[in-house]
Amino acid sequence: MTSGDADVRLVDMTLRDGMHAVDHQFTPEEMADVAAALEAAEMDVAEVSHGDGMGGSSINYGFSAATTEEYLDAVAPELDDTRLSVLMLPGIGTVEEIDMAIDRGADMCRIATHVTEADISEDHFVKVKDRGLEANGLLMLSHMAEPERVLEEAQLMEEYGADAVYVMDSAGAMLPSDVRDRVSLLVDELDIDVGFHAHNNLGLGIGNSLAALEEGAVTIDGCLRGLGAGSGNAQMEVLVGVLDKAGYDVNPDFFGTMDAAEDVLVPMIDDDEMPELDNDSLMLGYAGVYSSFLRHTRRAGEKYGIDPREILVELGEMEVVGGQEDLITDVAARLADEGAAAEAAGDD
């Protein structure tokens, strides 16, 4: 579902996935300012939620500075041509929150599950479609399933009423060949649009997005300045410029998107909140661990005196998924105990 005559629809998630980078502390006023800048830049879609979707503000995922209602009430008046999206993770958010978001101006709802758990999303798709909104399905951590399994799960979402299904590289773990294999299969076999969501933990956010488009994807996610968990998402202003240079017809204005990032977002962000491709986020991509685990892993490593890289490798071998952040502390504590036991044995 591209916008107008554009070849690609761009979904800006600065006010959703970008929330991970700021510990979910954007204020409603800051969100309104960013939304106004995105509207001025003619962005196709802006997504607003806690980083883990509606209902995510909790002790498990981190409390946000305001409620979803307050965020939506601040952002909706700033958007006219730019559509307003919200994120729903079944098991974190509820179908009642879908009603709340729609009543506050949401135009579409994106429903995300782990790549092998699309079957938990049926009620949520039914609710969104019954209310007459566009519903997109997001298959998180798609690197954890072979292309054929990704297709099976995407077909379930299509059956439930999805208007588009996304391959999500939630851990930034995919190589271009991984993206091509999954996106091309979905494009060939589905009767709905295919999208792609990149993280930049291996430095491939833009390259993987281009690979997805070359295989037939028509909707792509990004964030201003690449804000997001881990080393961030595909950087939106770079995406707009690269796609324009590559000959794609896109709606957002290149200069306007650059201005939204430089003049509006950057002054809100502390230096230590700006994503970078450092060793920790590189390890996320290498280990294949969900990007929102990074800050929690750093804190656990400091608390227990464990190298965060060791924790991430262990979590990757366990194939942890979003919603299992509580395991980070368990792994750090176990590694610390094992280290202490080994040291004691050495002393003997």
Catalytic residues: 20
What would the two tokens of residue 259 be? 């201005």
Is the separation of the CB atoms in 85 and 48 below 8 Å? yes
Please state the φ and ψ torsions of residue 140, each to the nearest 5 degrees.
-75, 155
The kind and range of the H/E element at 278 are none
Give the three-class secondary structure for 235: strand
For the four alpha carbons of 17, 22, 25 and 30, in that order, the dihedral sign comes to: negative
Please state the φ and ψ torsions of residue 164, each to the nearest 5 degrees.
-160, 155
Distances (CA, A) of 168 to 19, 116, 275, 338: 18, 12, 19, 35
One-letter identity of residue 184? S
Distance, CA of 151 to CA of 186 (rounded, Å)? 6
Q: Identify the CA nearest to 17 among candidates 348, 341, 288, 294.
A: 294
One-letter identity of residue 144? M
The kind and range of the H/E element at 267 are none
Q: Identify the CA nearest to 39 among candidates 93, 91, 79.
A: 79
Q: Identify the CA nearest to 14 among candidates 70, 58, 71.
A: 71
Is the separation of the CB atoms in 217 and 188 below 8 Å? no
Give the three-class secondary structure for 111: strand
| CA neighbours closer than 13 Å in the CB half-sphere of residue 83 | 20
Distance, CA of 21 to CA of 36 (rounded, Å)? 21
